[in-house]
Amino acid sequence: MVYTNKQCQFIKETIMKVIKVANQLEGAKLGLEILTEKIAAGAKTFGLATGSTPVEFYNQIINSDLDFTDKTSINLDEYVGLDGSDEQSYRYFMSQHLFNEKPFKENFLPNGKAKDLDAEVKAYDDIIATHPIDLQILGIGQNGHIGFNEPGTPFDVTTHVVDLTESTIKANSRYFENEDEVPRQAVSMGIASILKSKTLILMAWGEAKAEAIKGMIEGEVTESLPASVLQQHDDVIVIIDEAAASLLN
Ligand SMILES: N[C@@H]1[C@@H](O)[C@H](O)[C@@H](COP(=O)(O)O)O[C@@H]1O
């Protein structure tokens, strides 16, 4: 794979490729290059993430001439109790930041309003099984969570209902009027499902992510830092800015 982006600096190649970029915009452009390459190679199904991290990447996609009308997206997670029309739901977020501008053949997200959450979890596993993910986009929580797989989540779980930790509720409250408004549960793709993706790109910007990034890359593989499991996947590309990389040796 050839990266033409001049701003990036290749800082580590073990199994994980770690690429430091000048800033979020450069990282998003690099993400678009990789995505374009994967589509040219036949990728059809994309695992997508919410949060502030991929927003510029989605802008880049919107401004590109890539066509997704024959492509499928499968999102990582959704808050329990929020309808897709709720402005805080991840379904709404994805519509606003990508899907309204770039129509896909189909967009899957868990249904946070499902009456029977056990059935919803099973149905989402079936969707993932029948639509193998070619490229998964990930952000990372300050405590090292991916999707909504909080510290302590076993690595072998598939889609599940999660009790959000205090730290995640606090971190994500910036999107809500106050902390009390943040749902306490979410439906999340599990770590086992995430690891089945052919290629993964994890992006992180800013100092708040530096500790999690250090643990993920240089620490031991441990369920206390869910993203560390990515060390065991053979095709992970980590794109980070200076601040997120600042604690790396
Ligand atoms: N479930 C999402 C994660 O997928 C995301 O990676 C994380 C970080 O969010 P941000 O990108 O806003 O820092 O937030 C949420 O918890």
Give dist(CA 66, CA 101) in Å, integer.
12
Is the CB of 32 within 6 Å of ligand 1?
no
Q: Return the domain boundaries, the chain.
A: 21-205
Q: Could you tell me which CATH number the domain at 21-205 has?
A: 3.40.50.1360
Task: State the average pLDDT for the chain.
Answer: 94
Task: For residues 11-27, give the mean pLDDT.
Answer: 84
pLDDT value at residue 13? 44
Is the CB of 205 within 6 Å of ligand 1?
no
Residues near 124 by Cβ (< 8 Å), separated by ≥ 6?
108, 110, 159, 187, 189
How many whole angstroms from 48 Cα to the centroid of ligand 1?
Answer: 11
How many whole angstroms from 222 Cα to the centroid of ligand 1?
Answer: 20
Task: For residues 119-126, give the mean pLDDT.
Answer: 98
Among 188, 126, 189, 138, residue whose Cα is nearest residue 163: 188
- pTM above threshold 0.90: yes
Q: Whose CA is nearest to atom 3 of ligand 1?
A: 147
- Choosing from 53, 143, 164, 185 the residue with most ligand 1 atoms within 8 A of its CB, the one to mutate for a pocket test is 53
Among 165, 149, 169, residue whose Cα is nearest residue 157: 149
> pLDDT over 70 for what percent of the chain?
94
Question: Is 23 among the residues known to form the active site?
Answer: no
Question: Is 107 among the residues known to form the active site?
Answer: no
What is the 3-state secondary structure of 87-151? CCCHHHHHHHHHHCCCCCCEEECCCCCCCCHHHHHHHHHHHHHHCCCCEEEECCCCCCCECCECC
Question: Is 143 among the residues known to form the active site?
Answer: yes
Taking only Cα atoms into account, the Rg of the chain, rounded to an integer number of angstroms, comes to 17
pLDDT value at residue 15? 76
> pLDDT over 90 for what percent of the chain?
91
Q: What is the pLDDT of residues 124-180, one digit of tens each?
A: 999 999 999 999 999 999 999 999 999 999 999 999 999 999 988 998 999 999 999
How many whole angstroms from 201 Cα to the centroid of ligand 1?
Answer: 14
How many whole angstroms from 165 Cα to the centroid of ligand 1?
Answer: 13
Looking at the predicted structure, is the pLDDT value of residue 4 above 90? no
Give dist(CA 202, CA 227) in Å, integer.
9
Q: What is the pLDDT of residues 172-222, one digit of tens each?
A: 999 999 999 999 999 999 999 999 999 999 999 999 999 999 999 999 999
How many whole angstroms from 59 Cα to the centroid of ligand 1?
Answer: 17
Looking at the predicted structure, is the pLDDT value of residue 14 above 80? no
Question: Is 77 among the residues known to form the active site?
Answer: yes
Q: How confident is the model at residue 10 (pLDDT cuts 50, 70, 90)?
A: low
Ligand 1 atom with minimal separation from the 49 CA? 4
Q: How much is the ipTM here? A: 0.97
Task: For residues 87-112, give the mean pLDDT.
Answer: 97
Looking at the predicted structure, is the pLDDT value of residue 36 above 50? yes
Q: How confident is the model at residue 9 (pLDDT cuts 50, 70, 90)?
A: low
Question: Which entry of 150, 160, 172, 241 is annotated as an active-site residue?
Answer: 150
Question: Which entry of 77, 78, 120, 241 is annotated as an active-site residue?
Answer: 77
Is the CB of 201 within 6 Å of ligand 1?
no
